[in-house]
Structures are given as structure tokens and as C-alpha cells.
């Protein structure tokens, strides 16, 4: 395995490349939202309203529209995500104390991004409206002596986000990517290694050799398990040192949990080798397992948002438990006292699959 230069590249360089690609590409932080304005009022207050969005740091001004026809073109060609249509009489109605309606047009193709963008727009608009309200109140009643002092005070809400103070999506996704990399490498290499022996005709020599089937399985899986554990350390160090993902837990405990998960993924590889006759079949079987495991793991989509029947199915997915364990160790610094239910479920599923795969492999050799 290590004598082949190309194999060394696959074993050690590929996980790093995957991590770097995911680290920079997988980012759900909603920033740089391009917007255009169809300002029919063209007043000082309408310009001040738009400047609130540019100053927020989340929006990027794109263009001012001169006609309603340009709206469809900009949204269809995805040049902008948001368009504000400010009606005439905007400033006049605000000064007179009346209500003003501003039309907001959002590109809803990406529902998640559109919802976050809508929340940002509401926050900026509310802030602007509160500034106008405070100015009016300051002119009328704040300085009056007959107003009780407790009415002059306001409630201030101070947020504090635990575990991910900057709310970076990278800190949420990268620990989970560790589980995906381990899954892909271990299952693929283990399954194809055994199938390759069958494909080139050397499996018969192993069958007649004076070794037990469990010894054959161990010889084929332990090297790749060791490589996967090395990749785990390598990927974790890059996440911590290069991408600045916070690591608050125990590194030794993380390696112990990773070893348990690697045992499970190795068992999956052994099982795939028993149902595949060629390396192409093994590779397709790996993807057949990997895609549902990733989707039902909570890597991207919250399990609580899935249909109830799918939530029950996810209980059979060890990747779900491993991702929860890794995120807990990295971001929360929790240990066995908190993560023991996930760790117990992970090891139980792993042991059952290992025994089942080993027996099926033994029968398949016979």
C-alpha cells in the first residue's frame, strides 16, 4: 500500500485537498447580498433609508432602476437578490407621521438564503424606524419633568452566543466533514481491496491459506484503519491550525471515538466486498451507502426538520452519532459524561455490523 506513490497521494493528500475545498466552499454565511433600488421618491429620507442597508455590512448596492421593467431582468439573470421599490411620497408621509409601505422583492430560489436575507431586511428596517421614533419622542416627551423616571428607561437585550460566538458556518460544518472523509476513505479502500483480490484471482490463494476468515479480514482492514486514524489527526490539525476551528475538548477522547467509528466503516467496507464482484460494483455500492448516510446525518439538514419516519431511520445511521460527538468535542468541549448516549449507540451499531459482516464474509469465502 505504501510502496505505491500514487496510493500515498490518495491516502494522505486527498483528505487534505477535500478539507481545503470544503473549508472554503462550504459556507452558508449570508453576506454580500446584492440589491437594487427603484426609488420613485428620490428624497433625502429615501436615500438615507437605502444607506442603512449599505452600512449594515451585509448588503451591497448594485444599481438604481429607472423603470419597472428592469426588475424582472435583474432577478431573472440573478444579478441581484433583493430589490427595493420605494413609492413616491415616502419622505412626506414619514414627516407627517403616516405609515409608508416599501415593496421588497426577493429571489426565493434559495429558500434558506432568502429567509435569512428577509430577516436582515426586517432588522435594518426596524432599526431605521426606531431611529425616527426616538427622534420624535425626544422632541416631545423625553425632557418633560412630569414623566416618571421608570418610563424613560428601556430594556436592552444583550446577546451572547455560546460555542460559536461569531456564528461562523465553517465552525459548524468542518468538524462534520471529518466524519465524511473518514467514511469515504475507509469504506472505499476496504471494500475495493478485498474485491481486487477476487477480481485478479488471488482470493483463492487466501482461501486455501491456513488462516481464519477473521484473520484475513483483520489483515485487509487494519492497515486502512491505521491510515484513517492518521488522516483523522492530520485533518483535525489542519482544521484547528489553518481554519481556526475552536477545539475545546480532549484530543485523546476524539481519537478514541474516531477509532470506534472507523471500526464501523471498515465493517461496512467488508460487507460491500461480499456483495460486489468487481471494483466498479464496489465503488457504486459505496456511493449507494454514502449519500443516504450523509443526508440523514444532520451534516447539512437538521434532523428535527425531517419527516418523523425519516427521523426514526436516522437512528440507524452511525454517522449521525459521530457527527454529534465530533461537534460536541470541538465546539462545546464536552466529554464522556455528556456524549455517552451517542457513543453507546455508535459502538452498538458498529459491533452488530462487524459481527454480521464477518460472518457473511466467512460464508462467502466458503
pLDDT of 334 strictly over 70: yes
pLDDT of 143 strictly over 60: no
Assigned domain for 93 exists: yes
Lowest mean pLDDT among 206-220, 322-336, 347-361: 206-220
The DSSP line for 225-252 is HHHHHHHHHHHHHHHHHTS-----S-HH
State the chain's maximal CA–CA distance in angstroms: 101
Q: Give pLDDT, residue 325.
A: 94
From the list 180, 172, 175, 170, the residue with the least C-alpha distance to 14 is 180
Domain ends where: 102, 125, 151? 151
Assigned domain for 78 exists: yes
pLDDT above 70: percentage of residues in the chain = 91
Q: How far is CA 322 from CA 130, 185, 264, 298, 357, in A?
A: 46, 16, 11, 10, 20
Assigned domain for 159 exists: no
Assigned domain for 136 exists: yes
* Domain identity same for 205 and 328: yes
* Domain identity same for 232 and 102: no
* Domain identity same for 75 and 223: no
Assigned domain for 108 exists: yes
Assigned domain for 161 exists: no
Q: Give pLDDT, residue 281.
A: 86
Domain ends where: 125, 151, 177? 151
* Domain identity same for 185 and 89: no
Q: Give pLDDT, residue 66.
A: 85
pLDDT above 90: percentage of residues in the chain = 27
Contact 308, 161 (CB under 8 A): no
In the structure, what pLDDT confidence band is assigned to residue 137 with cuts at 50, 70 and 90?
low
Contact 186, 327 (CB under 8 A): no
Domain ends where: 119, 151, 183? 151
Say which CATH number the domain at 46 has: 3.40.1710.10
Assigned domain for 157 exists: no
Q: How many structural domains does the chain have?
A: 2
* Domain identity same for 213 and 141: no
* Domain identity same for 120 and 53: yes
Contact 332, 322 (CB under 8 A): no
Q: What is the pLDDT of residues 76-118, one digit of tens each?
A: 888 899 999 998 888 888 887 777 888 999 988 888 888 889 9
Q: Give pLDDT, residue 169.
A: 84
Q: Give pLDDT, residue 236.
A: 93
Helices vs strands, H then E, count in the chain: 14, 4
* Domain identity same for 74 and 201: no
Contact 346, 264 (CB under 8 A): yes
* Domain identity same for 112 and 200: no
Phi-psi region of 64 (alpha: psi -120 to 50; beta: other; left: phi over 0): beta
pLDDT of 311 strictly over 70: yes
Q: What is the pLDDT of residues 201-256, one digit of tens each?
A: 777 676 677 777 677 778 878 888 899 999 999 999 999 999 999 999 999 999 99
Contact 268, 357 (CB under 8 A): yes
CA 155 remoteness from chain centre: 35
* Domain identity same for 21 and 76: no
Assigned domain for 156 exists: no
The parent domain of residue 219 ranges over 5-25+168-365
* Domain identity same for 120 and 225: no
Q: pTM of this prediction?
A: 0.79
Q: What is the pLDDT of residues 4-13, one digit of tens each?
A: 777 778 788 8
CA distance linking residue 319 with residue 296, whole number of Å: 8
* Domain identity same for 256 and 279: yes
Helix axes 169-200, 279-295, angle to 10 degrees: 160
* Domain identity same for 238 and 102: no
Amino acid at each position: 500500500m505504501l510502496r505505491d506513490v500514487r496510493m500515498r497521494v490518495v491516502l494522505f493528500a486527498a483528505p487534505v485537498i477535500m478539507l481545503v475545498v470544503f473549508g472554503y466552499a462550504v459556507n452558508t454565511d449570508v453576506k454580500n447580498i446584492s440589491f437594487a433600488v427603484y426609488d420613485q421618491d428620490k428624497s433625502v429620507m429615501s436615500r438615507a433609508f437605502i444607506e442603512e442597508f449599505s452600512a449594515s455590512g451585509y448588503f451591497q448596492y448594485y444599481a438604481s432602476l429607472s423603470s419597472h421593467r428592469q426588475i424582472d431582468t435583474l432577478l431573472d439573470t440573478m444579478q441581484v437578490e433583493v430589490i427595493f421599490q420605494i413609492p413616491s411620497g415616502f419622505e412626506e408621509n414619514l414627516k407627517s407621521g403616516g405609515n409608508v409601505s416599501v415593496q421588497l422583492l426577493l429571489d426565493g430560489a434559495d429558500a434558506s438564503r432568502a429567509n435569512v436575507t428577509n430577516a436582515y431586511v426586517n432588522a435594518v428596517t426596524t432599526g431605521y424606524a426606531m431611529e425616527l421614533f426616538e427622534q420624535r419622542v425626544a422632541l416631545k416627551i423625553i425632557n418633560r419633568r412630569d414623566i416618571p423616571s421608570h418610563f424613560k428607561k428601556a430594556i436592552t437585550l444583550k446577546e451572547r452566543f455560546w460555542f460559536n460566538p461569531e456564528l461562523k458556518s465553517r465552525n459548524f460544518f468542518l468538524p462534520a466533514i471529518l466524519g465524511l472523509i473518514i467514511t469515504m476513505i475507509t469504506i472505499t479502500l476496504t471494500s475495493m481491496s478485498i474485491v481486487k483480490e477476487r477480481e485478479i484471482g488471488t482470493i483463492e490463494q487466501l482461501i486455501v491459506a491456513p488462516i481464519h476468515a477473521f484473520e484475513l479480514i483483520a489483515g485487509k482492514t487494519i492497515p486502512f484503519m491505521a491510515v484513517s486514524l492518521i488522516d483523522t489527526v492530520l485533518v483535525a490539525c489542519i482544521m484547528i491550525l489553518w481554519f481556526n476551528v475552536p477545539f475545546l475538548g480532549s484530543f485523546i477522547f476524539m481519537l478514541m471515538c474516531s477509532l470506534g467509528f472507523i471500526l464501523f466503516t471498515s465493517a461496512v467496507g467488508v460487507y460491500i466486498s461480499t456483495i460486489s464482484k468487481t471494483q466498479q460494483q464496489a465503488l457504486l455500492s459505496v456511493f449507494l451507502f454514502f449519500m443516504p448516510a450523509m443526508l440523514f446525518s444532520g451534516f447539512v439538514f437538521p434532523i428535527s426538520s425531517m419527516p418523523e419516519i425519516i427521523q426514526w431511520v436516522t437512528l440507524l445511521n452511525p454517522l449521525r452519532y459521530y457527527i454529534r460527538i465530533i461537534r460536541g468535542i470541538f465546539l462545546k468541549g464536552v466529554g464522556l459524561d455528556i456524549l455517552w448516549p451517542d457513543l453507546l449507540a455508535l459502538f452498538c451499531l458498529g459491533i452488530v455490523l462487524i459481527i454480521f459482516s464477518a460472518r457473511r464474509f466467512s460464508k462467502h469465502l466458503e
